[in-house]
Amino acid sequence: MLFLSIIGLLVLLALWTLAWRRRPFLAFGVFLGAAVVGVLAAVLRPQGLDHVPLWLPPLPFAVVALSLFYFGALAWLWGKKERS
């Protein structure tokens, strides 16, 4: 398992290096996001799977569905304005 983690880290580092060469703003944003997540993960240690709320596992699907609905509504409204 440790071997796969090291390989994954090397692949992500190679992709980040490529992003740094082509789009430095993207790479800087990825770096800041990873730093924030690292600090939050160190501060908010998981207490175990005994107290996982019922709404937490489907939360990513709900976020994706709501964001697609939002952007679809925006595209529909902006499309109606151009036709008028």
Instruction: Give the DSSP per-residue string, the chain.
Output: -HHHHHHHHHHHHHHHHHHHHH-HHHHHHHHHHHHHHHHHHHHS----STT--TTSTTHHHHHHHHHHHHHHHHHHHHHHHHH-
Residue 56 pLDDT > 90, yes or no?
no
State the average pLDDT over residues 61-75. Answer: 95
* pLDDT recorded at residue 63: 95
Q: pTM for the full model?
A: 0.50
* 34 or 66, higher pLDDT: 66
| Residue 50 confidence (pLDDT) | 76
Q: Show me where the domains of the chain are located.
A: 2-83
